[in-house]
Structure 1
């Protein structure tokens, strides 16, 4: 690691008449994680990106992290401590860190902040997120083709637009290939709680679901499906390949490393500016994990074709005609959803049952 180098008092006095210091210290980058780095999902992938930053820049960077930080007052305390400890850049990696990030950024204007999945910015705060809904459309297609009971279960975390978009995108894709499909949504109100996630998966299986989708971060639903047998699942945020080829038949992989490397580099060369980024399959921030041999060849090919069409901009998961849940028109024939609506999505599309919690 680069360290502060002080000239000896004698040499310094001889050269300058006083003390001098070379300040080639590493750029210090902090990461605040909502779950444990071993969760196998969301936080695991963010930590892999942190390690990629270290590999890219070597001794020119120093990274620090805090895992399992609750969203709220605890996050503000952790962020304050990181800023006080000399962090030059801090990544805050969950939606509930939005207000704490803004609050701390106001007190430390010389520290740069990158907040994942939020929408509030400041001169020293950027936001970044991935178009997860693109990957969930691919999952929905596979789910709709492979279900035999026509019941698909969905474990949802919190009723924020990101999660609602995912439910709608996967349902629309499943419905497009299987008009008889039904979705049952269970709200777990957690990002990471293996016990709650396992209970939610079991409840959906008991209701007849033979496909489980999830927007929670542990592998507990995979384990519950494996125990039940004849139930398929999809990896969330990371590949969860230890459960392939069954029950995990594919996955959404969050690929944060290129973005983290780029933004750390921007801080290092002085070019960092506040921005808002929303990348998807085309930019490589959303990846589709290997589709296992448990999926028939024709379904695999259909799913890959959808992935490629989304990447090329030839297909948009939200293309009309699409109605809202109450039957009123949302998108006309051929019309695609604009980003502003998607970023604030707070409604189910027609065909989904139940209500979105407040």
Structure 2
């Protein structure tokens, strides 16, 4: 009897194995491309959270690649995306506006694969973009900086130069100027989202020039700014982005939350339900759940909180329209001088 049972179980196992394989093959293959470090406590980690949400919530075969280029080199990103496409997934989700150009190139080479760029602005016959409107929370972060600065000097530091980063910087500046027209603005792109040393140096230079509130749009490199700000004994405050940094360190007066992991899950879910459409840009912004918002430290006054709530309502209603272009000069931390924006083209060529 025991022998027959074993044979029956063995037979069942042999029968089930091909069926299990067939079911796995029927699931869509979705690959997530993460240009930077997937554990950077910043924008790239949001992509990894999106990948984890796909794995947990959707019946798909999900995979990811990460840590391709700290400087968002277009050639390296294009080659990584091409290599991923050669493996034949049904959908490739590329994270970050730095993937715009690579996606336009590779999607044409692989017309049978669907492509999505998160925080992208590209479209095509098999290509779409999903955008979390980080400019909404960045504008409110600017308003917070303008309302809380004591020196009337506000700083901004970012790493790479993809379009979403430029839009976010412009929105932050617009928010500063809306509430504090006399504030001086110090802005710089260091060229590297992950390097703690160069971003700390940029923060030190902006603080030396009078900045007492600094907004960072960084990944792993943010830690360098945190350490520099904390060395000033509470005289300088920090505003983070992507996730809620007020829960991480007391130096943060606020954080411009824009959870791109939701966009990744939305793109994947749309693909599995048949709702995904090519040649479109799908936006998720302020007032659409908890995806985009400004969080505040406990010591922000009730008066400022009320002002920010009123401003948020005007953004949602359209009464306030965000200027997403910044035409001003940039502050070179190496020299302490202001330079024309064309100067960064030289830095791009060197990075």
Smaller-chain TM-score range? 0.7 to 0.9
Indicate if the aligned counterparts of 2:157 and 2:190 stay in contact, CA closer than 8 A: yes
Aligned partner of 2:47 in structure 1 is 46
Select 2:253's aligned residue among 249, 256, 259. 249
Cα deviation 1:79-136 (Å, max 9, x = unaligned): 2232232311111112222222222222222211101233332211112223222212
Flag the 1:24–1:55 CA change in 2: closer, same or farther, 3 A: closer
CA displacement at 1:41 relative to structure 2: 0.9
Q: Is the 8 A contact 1:233 1:248 kept in 2?
A: yes
Farther off after superposition, 264-273 or 107-116: 264-273
Shift of 1:169: 2.6
Long gaps (5+) in structure 2: 1-11, 330-337, 346-351
Question: 1:14-64 CA deviation, whole Å, 9 max, x = no partner?
Answer: xxxxxxx9455232211111221211110111211211122212xx21221
Matched position secondary structure for 1:281: coil
Tell me if structure 2 keeps the 8 A contact 1:155–1:186. yes
In structure 1, stretches of 5+ residues that fail to align are: 13-20, 319-341
Q: Which residue of 1 aligns with 2:5?
A: none
Give the deviation of 1:149 after TM superposition. 1.2
Corresponding residue SS for 1:272: coil
Q: Does 1:234 align with 2:273?
A: no
Q: Distance in 2 between matches of 1:146 and 1:187?
A: 23
Equivalent of residue 266 in structure 2, options 262, 286, 291: 262
Q: Offset of 1:311 from its aligned partner?
A: 2.2
Q: Is the 8 A contact 1:135 1:286 kept in 2?
A: no
TM-score by length of 1: 0.78
Separation (CA, whole Å) in 1 of partners of 2:173 and 2:267: 35
User: Structure 1 residue 56 and structure 2 residue 57: aligned?
Assistant: yes
SS at 2:219 equivalent: coil
- Tell whether the 8 Å contact from 1:34 to 1:69 is kept in structure 2 after alignment: yes
The 2-side partners of 1:354 and 1:297 are apart by 38
How far off is 1:205 after superposition?
1.1
| Inter-partner Cα distance in structure 2 for 1:228 and 1:193 | 21
What secondary structure does 2:295 align onto? coil
The reply to whether residue 132 of structure 1 matches residue 134 of structure 2 is yes
Distance 1:236 1:184 in 2: 18
> Which residue of the partner structure matches residue 65 of structure 1?
64
- Tell me if 1:145 matches 2:144: no
- The alpha-carbon distance between structure 1 residues 6 and 69, as it changes in their structure 2 partners (threshold 3 A), is farther
> CA, structure 1 residues 55+141, in 2 after alignment: closer, same or farther (shift >3 Å)?
same
CA distance in 2, matches of 1:185, 1:258: 29
1:165 aligns to what? 167
Number of residues of Structure 1 aligned to a counterpart in Structure 2: 313
Matches within 5 A, 1:327-346: 342=324, 345=325
Higher relative contact order (CA 8 A, sep 6+): 2
Aligned partner of 1:80 in structure 2 is 82
CA distance in 2, matches of 1:257, 1:171: 25
Tell me which residue corresponds to 1:182.
184
The SS at the match of 1:155 is strand
Output the CA distance in 1 between the equivalents of 2:34 and 2:232: 32
Aligned position for 2:32:
31
Counterpart of 1:306 in structure 2 is: 311
1:327 aligned residue: none
> Which SS does the other structure have where 2:29 is aligned?
strand
Contact 2:169/2:326, CA 8 A, preserved across alignment: no
Verify the 8 A CA contact 1:151 1:181 in the aligned structure 2.
Answer: yes
Matched with 1:287 is 292
Moved more, 262-271 or 86-95: 262-271
Give the C-alpha shift of residue 7 in structure 1.
8.5
- 2:262 and 2:48 map into 1 onto residues whose CA distance is 13
- TM-score, reference length from structure 2: 0.80
Could you tell me whether the CA contact under 8 Å between 1:217 and 1:236 is conserved in 2? no
Superposed CA RMSD: 2.8
> Counterpart in 1 of 2:8?
none
